[in-house]
Amino acid sequence: MRREKPRVSAFTSADIPKILTLEPDLVLTFSDLQAEIATELLKAGISVMGYNQRSIAGILAMIRHLGATVGQGARAAALADGYERRLAQIAARSNGRHRPVVYFEEWDEPMIVGIQWVSELIEIAGGREAFPELALKESAGDRILTSEQVIEAAPDVILASWCGKKVRPERIASRPGWESIPAIREGRIVEIKSPLILSAGPAALTDGLDAILTALG
């Protein structure tokens, strides 16, 4: 399917002329990082809907809003309701159980902890977010942390998704001083592919959550 469709954009850059040749009725953008793309399209007379969700609640609201926008409000609401029920069911399973401390690494140089919806999914899956206060920060630049902070947090599991770049577990394991971290000692470093967990849509709530459950299982 992907081969059949023209590629007109990356995350922070877009081929505006190529988009215009498609004569879209509506272009959807995500994140303030795509603000310049949205501006160029608006100047060219294209209707743009920009989303900037950072949490599970934001993802569900986006699904409902987009559905209403394209005349499929009831179907979108039913879809979002189904996701909510499943999230609640999975969260209920972990009540009273031991919660391993989980460090999610969104980027390696500098080290950036995962965004809010990732932190929330970790908690739903039965883990305990190692840096909950950082995960609430909207900007990736505000979620940068030091090696010493991770060592002190002593995570039991390390999940990594380097925003489209292949994760190198051996590089994580060889960081100075990290040999004392339980996740390193037990070899519990797991890559989760970026499209599954760092896309702020249904994939994170389904395949992304399932990947976290498998890693913590």
Number of residues assigned to the chain: 217
State the pLDDT at residue 130.
97
Q: Domain segments of the chain: what residues?
A: 1-52, 99-216
Pick the closest to residue 189 from 173, 202, 200, 174 (CA basis).
173
pTM: 0.91
Cis before residue 155, ω within 30 degrees of 0?
no
Q: Helix %, strand %, coil % for the chain, to 5?
A: 50, 15, 35
List per-block mean pLDDT (blocks of 10 residues) for the chain, which spans 217 residues: 75 92 94 93 96 96 96 97 98 92 97 97 97 93 96 98 92 97 98 94 96 96
State the pLDDT at residue 170.
97
CATH of domain 99-216: 3.40.50.1980
C-alpha–C-alpha distance, residues 28 and 36, integer Å: 13
